[in-house]
Structure 1
């Protein structure tokens, strides 16, 4: 699938590494550890703890996931999906390998990322950042049950 993004481990590693380095640098500057050798390990311990927290948080919220929502009427589900995307300020960007791409404009698009969806015969596949995809799933699941009646 052409819409796969960074998964759990690569997202964790990105946030862990960058946050650890920043924390080690900030703690080193704040404690002036170069003048006192007994404080030498504190920046690394602080960086490790901060990196684990930031890595876990970043991986939970920003990893890329895909979900499939089954529906007997996927075109109606697509209408609900597009309505929700427009209400959340997403705009149509284009298509890629059968997936329709939506993204928020300007700076908000950088932080929320792109959302991809593909309409199939009996389902809709939605792919994007975990927080956005889960919110869409929670919005669309009651719509699916309504369409089944």
Structure 2
């Protein structure tokens, strides 16, 4: 066949796998289903990039639509580790409980940071700081 009905691409699968992994900021968007939300996604992406610059981190900022995530997650579920599965489960539970009003969802380093609205840059920056401490093996308040 000519793949007329192919709903997911290898690039989409790779992006969702990367989004569930560490050292990334993810904007899970409902722009596929709710016209006018693209501008909010773009504002979150800009805030995330600014926070990454301030934190001197070179992580990707990934935006994935809920439609893409829903079509790919069932195909990946057997491949996910415990942390990736937990993130996917949190997102699924938010969607089941709140529907499209749960979006946008922001995930920083496999931690759900915000849902249902636009987080400010300080919120993202704080999540990055916490992730950096965790990744360095520091406990809260410890200095190296």
TM-score by length of 2: 0.27
Higher helix share: 1
TM-score by length of 1: 0.26
Higher strand share: 1
